Amino acid sequence: MRDVAVIGIGMTEFGEIWEKSFRELVAEAGIKAIMDAGIEGEEIDALYIGGMSTGRFIGQEHVGSLAVEVAGLEDLHIPSTRVEAACASGGVAMHQGYLAVASGMYDIVVVGGAEKMTDVVGGEATNILASAADREWEAFFGATFPGLYALMAKYHMHKYGTTQEQLAMVAVKNHYNGSLNPKAQFKRRISVEDVLKSPMVADPLHLLDCSPISDGAAAAVLAPLEIAKKYTDKPIKISASIQATDTLSLHGRKRFDALPAAQHAAKLAYEKADIKPKDVDVAEVHDCFTIAEIIAIEDLGFVEKGKGGKATEEGLTALDGEIPVNTSGGLKAKGHPVGATGVAQINEIVLQLRGEAGERQVKEAEIGLAHNVGGSGGTAVVHILEVI
Is 156 a residue of the active site?
Answer: no
DSSP-derived letter for residue 41 is: G
Nearer to another protein, 29 or 125 (CB): 125
Contacts of another protein in 122-161 (CB under 8 A): 123-124, 126-127, 130, 136-144, 146-147, 150-155, 158
Q: CB of 131 within 8 A of CB of 53? A: yes
- For another protein, which stretch binds (CB under 8 A), given 31-39, 78-86, 120-128, 160-168? 120-128
Residue 198 to residues 195, 206, 288, Cα–Cα distance (Å): 5, 6, 17
Q: Which of residues 196-235 bind another protein (CB under 8 A)?
A: 199-205
- Tell me which residue of 96, 93, 73 sits closest to 85, measured CA to CA: 93
CA geometry: angle at 188 spanning 183 and 193, to 5°? 140
- Active site residue: 87, 95, 286, 383, which one? 87
- Cis check for the bond before 204: say yes or no (omega within 30 of 0): yes
Total of residues contacting another protein (CB under 8 A): 35
CA-based nearest residue to 250, from 168, 155, 128, 338: 155
Least distance between another protein and beta carbon 204 (Å)? 8
Report the residue number, 7 or 125, with the smaller CB distance to another protein. 125
String marking each residue 162-201 x if it binds another protein according to CB under 8 A: -------------------------------------xxx
Minimum CB distance to another protein smaller for 184 or for 258? 258
DSSP characters for 336-381? Answer: --HHHHHHHHHHHHHHHHHT--GGGPPTT--EEEEEEEETTTTEEE
Query: What is the footprint of another protein within residues 241-270 (CB under 8 A)?
Result: 249-252, 256
Nearer to another protein, 118 or 372 (CB): 118
Q: In whole angstroms, give the CA distance from residue 107 to residue 112.
A: 16
Question: What is the closest distance, in whole angstroms, from the C-beta atom of residue 125 to another protein in the complex?
Answer: 11
Least distance to another protein, CB of residue 155, Å? 4
User: How far apart are alpha carbons 88 and 94 in whole angstroms?
Assistant: 10
363 binds another protein (CB under 8 A): no
Q: What is the widest separation between alpha-carbon atoms in the chain?
A: 59
Residue 256 to residue 264: CA distance in whole angstroms: 15
Whichever of 231 and 256 has its CB closer to another protein, that residue is: 256
In angstroms, rounded to a whole number, what is the distance separating the alpha carbons of residues 273 and 53?
32
Least distance from another protein to the Cβ atom of residue 212, Å: 14
Nearer to another protein, 128 or 266 (CB): 128
* Residue 76 or 200 with smaller CB distance to another protein: 200
- Rounded to the nearest whole angstrom, what is the least distance from the CB of residue 161 to another protein in the complex? 13
Shortest gap between Cβ of 122 and another protein (angstroms)?
Answer: 9
Q: Output the smallest distance, CB 247 to another protein, in A.
A: 9
Q: Give the integer Cα–Cα distance in Å for 257 and 155.
A: 7
Query: Distance between CA 330 and CA 292 in Å, rounded?
Result: 11
Tally of CB atoms within 10 A around 271:
11
Q: Is 210 a catalytic residue?
A: no
Q: What is the 3-state secondary structure (H, E, C) of 88-136?
A: CHHHHHHHHHHHHHHCCCCCEEEEEEEEECCCCCHHHHHHHHHHHCCCC
Pairing outcome for strands 215-224 and 108-116: antiparallel
Catalytic, out of 95, 264, 336, 383: 336
Q: Kindly tell me which of 90 and 309 has the beta carbon lying closer to another protein.
A: 309
Least separation in angstroms between CB 199 and another protein? 7
Active site members: 87, 336
The contact set with another protein (CB under 8 A) reads 123-124, 126-127, 130, 136-144, 146-147, 150-155, 158, 199-205, 249-252, 256
